[in-house]
Each structure stands twice: as C-alpha cells, then as structure tokens.
C-alpha cells in the first residue's frame, strides 16, 4: 500500500499568513525563529533562524465535536510553497518519536489505533493502520506535546 503525507491546505494557510483569525478567532502571534524546533505545517520544513513565523491555534477537523482537538502550530510568516504530497517522511519530523493515531470517516479517534512510534517507523505504522477498514486517515502528532504535525492518507 502507498501512503501520502499531507501538509495544510494552501488556501487556509494564506488566510492565516495574511492576518486571518485562527481556530479561536484570534490573530496569529508573530515571532522570529532561533532555528530550533519551529516546524512549518505548510512547507513541512523548519523555519530557519532569523525568519518570521506564526504561532496559532489550529483545528484539523471540519467541524466542532468532542474529538476535534485544537492546539498550537507554527507556520512561516511569509508565503512558502506547500510540501508535495509524498510517501517520504517530511523533513520537519526530527524528533525521535511521534504519536501516530487513526481517525474514522466521522473524524473521531479510532480507539486502539494510537501509539508512540519511532520516527523511522511512522510510514510502516501508517500502512499497518490502513489495513483496517475503520481508519479513514491518520494524524502525526508530537509525542511530548500532542501538537498536530501532518496528516497521512492512502495514496
């Protein structure tokens, strides 16, 4: 089976970069990167030292419901190119491990699908989860803070 790592949609990111409100209706905060641990969820690269970035609340779900987690993410402050959908691990995933968790067509967590997975094993774990009919898509989240990183879908 083939999988695709998917970045945030450009239309949503451009609205935020142009000053639109985040998931809480607030304006994104602007900071300057020190070059350490600031992964942009659109280009899926780290924001380089000296570059501006945004901190904002993001909800990667189409509507509010009990499982629609909202949390902080980073984006380049200036427009960047969206990462291509690919089966290769995104450059920004530099930690030793991540939470990999499946969601159903109803956008709710599929219990028993989540686990902390070594970074190099994320693709294999996703392929295993996609063998299940009840998994519609997968989130990769930080293992330390549960921050949304990216989405994985069947290719």
54 to each of 18, 113, 133, 135, 145, how far by Cα in Å? 11, 31, 37, 31, 18
What whole-number distance in Å separates Cα of residue 137 and Cα of residue 100? 10
**112 Rama class: left (phi>0) / alpha (psi -120 to 50) / beta:** left
**What are the residues whose beta carbons fall under 8 Å from the beta carbon of 12, sequence distance 6 or more?**
none
> What confidence tens digit (pLDDT) does each residue in 50-82 have?
999 999 999 999 999 999 999 999 999 999 999
What pLDDT is stored for residue 147 in this prediction?
96
Collapsing DSSP to helix, strand or coil, 23 comes out as coil
Task: Give the model's pLDDT for residue 82.
Answer: 98
**The pTM of the whole model exceeds 0.85:** yes
CB 27 within 8 A of CB 19: yes
pLDDT digits (tens, 9 = 90+) for 124-155: 999 999 999 999 999 999 999 999 999 999 99
pLDDT band at 1 (very low <50, low <70, confident <90, very high): confident
Per-residue exposure over 22-41, b if at least 16 CB sit within 10 Å of its own CB, e if not: bbeeeebeeeebeeeebbbb
pLDDT tens, position by position, 5-22: 999 999 999 999 999 999
């Amino acid at each position: 089976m083939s999988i695709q790592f998917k970045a945030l949609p450009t239309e949503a990111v451009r609205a935020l970069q142009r000053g639109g409100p985040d998931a809480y209706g607030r304006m994104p905060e602007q900071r300057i990167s020190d070059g350490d641990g600031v992964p942009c969820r659109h280009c899926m690269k780290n924001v380089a030292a000296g570059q501006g970035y945004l901190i904002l609340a993001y909800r990667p779900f189409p509507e509010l419901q009990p499982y629609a987690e909202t949390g902080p993410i980073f984006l380049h402050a200036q427009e960047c190119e969206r990462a291509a959908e690919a089966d290769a691990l995104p450059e920004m995933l530099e930690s030793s491990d991540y939470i990999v968790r499946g969601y159903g067509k109803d956008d709710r967590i599929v219990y028993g699908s989540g686990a902390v997975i070594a970074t190099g094993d994320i693709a294999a774990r996703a392929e295993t989860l996609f063998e299940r009919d009840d998994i519609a898509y997968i989130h990769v989240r930080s293992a330390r803070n549960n921050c949304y990183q990216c989405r994985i879908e069947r290719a």
